[in-house]
Amino acid sequence: MPIHIAITRRVRPGCEAEFQAALREFFQASFAHGGVLGASMLTPPPGSDSREFGILRTFANETERDALYESPMFKTWEQRASTLTEGEPEYRELHGLEAWFRSPRNPPPRWKMAMVTLLGAYPVSLLIGIALSPTLKELPLPLNLLAVSAIIVTMLTWVVMPLITRLLHGWLNPPSPMKERSS
């Protein structure tokens, strides 16, 4: 299973353009590392006072993630980035819903994410209703709904959504026009 990491960095005032250029260079260099599957930069909205930049990284697995973060290339990037940023970067591994639709390019449109989620949730809830209805009927309504919700969330997070998003990857994330032209 791919690993998705969200990184937040606060850029020093006046260093925004230099940080973006340096990050693009690092992205390009990091793709030479075989386990890097994707990288995206999230910039503050135009006209915003925010200087927080987001970085989304996708790795083939934990071993590949750790190998990149321990590499001399990454240590060099960290030294350069520290001169352009304030404080320490915040790293957070993405799980569940936030990672299902993680794309190395742009996230799919919300209507596609909603359709795929419905495609996953409906059969799971139908199966629960058919298989467990007699047992769940005996529980008080709040416990019944808690059990159903827990089963649905568990099945979607670790079984159904990883499978469906892998199967529908081409539809969710069609090739960008730039990639099509360069192919």
Q: What is the pLDDT of residues 95-130, one digit of tens each?
A: 665 566 655 445 677 788 788 888 988 999 999 989
Please tell me whether residue 40 adopts helix, strand or coil conformation.
Answer: strand
| pLDDT value of position 162 | 74
More confident residue, 183 or 86: 86
User: For 19-42, what is each residue's pLDDT tens digit?
Assistant: 999 999 999 999 888 889 888 888
- Dihedral sign for Cα atoms in the order 115, 55, 177, 175: negative
| Torsion, Cα of 88, 89, 94, 99 (10° steps) | 170
Look at residue 168 in the predicted model and tell me its pLDDT: 83
Domain count, the chain: 2
Mean pLDDT of the region 158-173: 78
* Average pLDDT taken over every residue of the chain: 83
Last residue of a domain, one of 54, 73, 94: 94
**136 occurs within a structural domain:** yes
Q: Is 31 helix (H, G, I), strand (E, B) or coil?
A: coil
Is position 117 within any domain? Answer: yes
Q: List the structure tokens of 13.
A: 């005032």
* Same domain assignment for residues 68 and 115: no
pTM of the model: 0.59
- pLDDT band at 133, cuts 50/70/90? confident
Give the Cα separation of 169 and 108 in Å (integer).
10
Domain containing residue 76: CATH number: 3.30.70.100
CA atoms within 13 A on the CB side of 159: 9
Average pLDDT estimate for 57-75: 92
178 located within any domain: yes
Domain that holds residue 136: 105-182
The mean pLDDT of 127-153, rounded to a whole number, is 88
In whole angstroms, give the CA distance from residue 48 to residue 101: 26
Phi, psi of 165 (to 5 degrees): -65, -30
Is 114 in the same domain as 141? yes
Q: Which two tokens stand for residue 43?
A: 């910039």
* 99 belongs to a structural domain: no
**Quick one: 117 and 173 in the same domain?**
yes
Q: Does residue 100 form part of some domain?
A: no
Looking at the structure, tell me whether residues 36 and 89 fall in a common domain.
yes
Note whether 59 and 136 are same-domain residues. no
48 in a structural domain? yes
Amino acid at 100: W
Of 84-93, 102-111, 117-126, 171-180, least confident by mean pLDDT is 171-180
